[in-house]
Amino acid sequence: MKTLNIGLIGAGRMGAFHGQTIAQRIPGAKLYAIADPFPQSAENVLQHIGEEAKIYTNPLDLIQDSEVDAIVIVSPARTHSENVIQAIEHGKPVFCEKPMAVSIEEMKAIKKAAKKNPVPVQVGFNRRFEKGFEQAHQEIVDGQLGDVQLLRSNTRDPELSGPEKKPEWTIFLETLIHDFDTLMYLNPGAKPVEVYAKADALIRPDLKENGLLDTSVVTITFDNGCIAVADASFQAKYGYDVRAEVFGSEGMITLGDIKTSSMQKFNTAGASYQTTRYDQDLLFDAYVDELKHFVKAVQNEEVTPKVSIENAEWALYLALASIESVKTGLPVKVEDVISLQLKEEAM
Ligand SMILES: NC(=O)c1ccc[n+]([C@@H]2O[C@H](COP(=O)([O-])OP(=O)(O)OC[C@H]3O[C@@H](n4cnc5c(N)ncnc54)[C@H](O)[C@@H]3O)[C@@H](O)[C@H]2O)c1
C-alpha cells in the first residue's frame, strides 16, 4: 500500500504528539508537511522528534500541496472548521482534533461540504479508542448491563494552564465535549433531550469577570430515560483524571484508572500509589490508535470512520445547550438550542 503523506496543521503541545505518532508510530504514514503561523514551532517539533518535513505558515498552502494525501488538524479550536472545509473541498481526508466546530453554523457548513465531496472525516474523541471504554460500549450494545439508567463521566485537568488566554466557554467546547461524546458512546442509540449546567470560577475567581469558568457540572436526560452527569475541573491537584461509570438494570461498569502502575505502597502513613499527571501518558494508546484508525480508514477509502461528523455534531449540541443553560440558569431542551442558535446566527 502507498505511504500516506500527511500534512499536520498546528505544531503546539498536542500537534507535537500527533506529529510524532504520524512520523514514528504508524506504519504506512509519513509526516510530509507541517503548517503553523509560527514556523519555529514546526521546526521545534521536527527537531524534537528527529524528522524532516516541509514547513508552511499558511494551512491552505499545505492543504493545496498536491503531495499531501490527508490532513491532521491540531490548531486552536476556533480555526478548525475553516481548515476542515478547505480539506474536504480539496478532496483530502481529514482528522480534526476536538471540537470540529464551535457553532452550529460552522457544523452546518462542514456537513454541506462533506455531502458535496465525501471523504473520510474523523474527530478526535480519543476515549472511543481507549480499550476499557471500547469494551464497555460493546458490553452495553450486547445488553450485558440491561437498560442504562445512570451515567457519569468526568475530565479533570492536572493544572489550569494559560488561564488568561482561554477563550470563553472553553470548559464546555473543549473539555466537557469529551464527556458529552463519552455519555453518548456509553448510551448507544439514545438521544439527549434536556441539559442543565452549572459552572463557576472556583480555581481563579478573579478571572470570572473575564469569562473564565473553570469548574462545571452538567446533567443530561436522554430519551431512553437515562440520567447522566458530567463534571469537569481545570485543576485536580492529584493528576489527570478521566473516569466514567455506567449503571444499568443488570449491573454497573466503572472506567478509568489514574494509577501509573499496579504498585501500591503501604507504610506507617497508610497506603499510597502514584497518579498520572499528563493526558498524553494516561491516554497514550488511545491517542495513537485514533490516528492509526484514521490512516486505515483513508487507505481503505472508508468515508465514515469510527468517530464521525455526526458524533462531533451531537457533542457540540450538548456543549451549546450547556452554555445556554449557564446563561439562563435554566434547563435547556436540546432541540431548542439547535433552533435558537440557528436563529441567532441568521440575525
Ligand atoms: N483530545 C485531547 O484530549 C486533546 C488534548 C489537548 C489538546 N487537544 C486539542 O488540540 C488542539 C490544539 O491544542 P494544543 O494544546 O496543542 O494547543 P497549543 O496552543 O499548544 O498549540 C496550538 C498551535 O497551533 C498554532 N496555530 C495557531 N493558529 C493557527 C492556525 N490558524 N493554523 C494553524 N496553526 C495555528 C499555534 O502557533 C500553536 O503552535 C485544540 O483543538 C485542543 O482542543 C485535544
pLDDT value of residue 343: 67
Predicted confidence at residue 36, as pLDDT, reads 98
Q: Which residues, listed in sequence order, are joined to residue 4 by a DSSP beta bridge?
A: 29
Closest approach atom of ligand 1 to CA 287: 1
Q: Using pLDDT thresholds of 50, 70 and 90, give the confidence band for residue 2.
A: confident
Average pLDDT along the chain: 96
In this predicted structure, the answer to whether residue 346 has a pLDDT above a threshold of 80 is no
Quick one: what percent of the chain has pLDDT higher than 70? Answer: 98
pLDDT of residue 342: 65
226 Cα: distance to centroid of ligand 1 (angstroms): 34
Question: What is the predicted pLDDT for the residue at 131?
Answer: 98
Q: Pick from 17, 36, 38 the residue to mutate for probing ligand 1's pocket: most ligand atoms within 8 Å of its CB.
A: 36
* pLDDT band for position 249 (cuts 50, 70, 90): very high
pLDDT at 245 over 70: yes
- For residue 25, the model assigns a pLDDT of 98
Which residues face 215 on adjacent strands? 200, 233
Residues with CB under 6 A from ligand 1: 9-15, 35-38, 41, 59, 74-77, 79, 97-98, 124, 126, 174, 279
Per-residue pLDDT, averaged over 279-307, amounts to 94
Q: Which residues contact 54 (CB under 8 A, 6 or more apart)?
A: 32, 33, 34, 62, 65
Nearest CA to ligand 1 atom 21: 12
| Ligand 1 atom nearest 42 alpha carbon | 39
Closest CA to 147 of 296, 250, 291: 250
- Choose which residue among 14, 85, 307 to substitute to test ligand 1 binding: the one with the highest number of ligand atoms within 8 A of its C-beta: 14
pLDDT band at 347 (very low <50, low <70, confident <90, very high): low
Name the residue with the closest Cα to ligand 1, atom 13. 14
Q: How far is the CA of 74 from the centre of ligand 1 (A)?
A: 5
The pLDDT value recorded for residue 104 is: 93
Among 4, 65, 63, CA closest to 30: 4
* 199-221 pLDDT per residue, tens: 999 999 999 999 999 999 999 99
Could you tell me the three cell numbers for 271?
497506603
Give the residue whose CA is nearest to atom 38 of ligand 1: 12
pTM: 0.96
Residue 240 CB contacts under 8 Å (≥ 6 apart), including other chains: 156, 157, 158, 258, 276, 277, 278, 279, 281, 282
Q: What is the mean pLDDT of residues 173-198?
A: 98
How many angstroms does the Cα of residue 77 sit away from the middle of ligand 1? 7
- pLDDT at position 294 over 80: yes
pLDDT at 157: 97
Share of the chain above pLDDT 90, in %: 94
CA of 93 to the centre of ligand 1 (A): 19
All domains in the chain, ordered by first residue? 4-125+285-308 (3.40.50.720), 127-283+314-341 (3.30.360.10)
Distance 179 CA to ligand 1 centre (A): 19
The mean-pLDDT minimum among 11-20, 121-130, 297-306, 307-316 falls in 297-306
The pLDDT, as a whole number, for residue 304 is 87
Given the C-alpha cell 506507617, which residue does it identify?
Answer: 268
**Paired sense of beta strands 265-267 and 121-123, if any:** unpaired
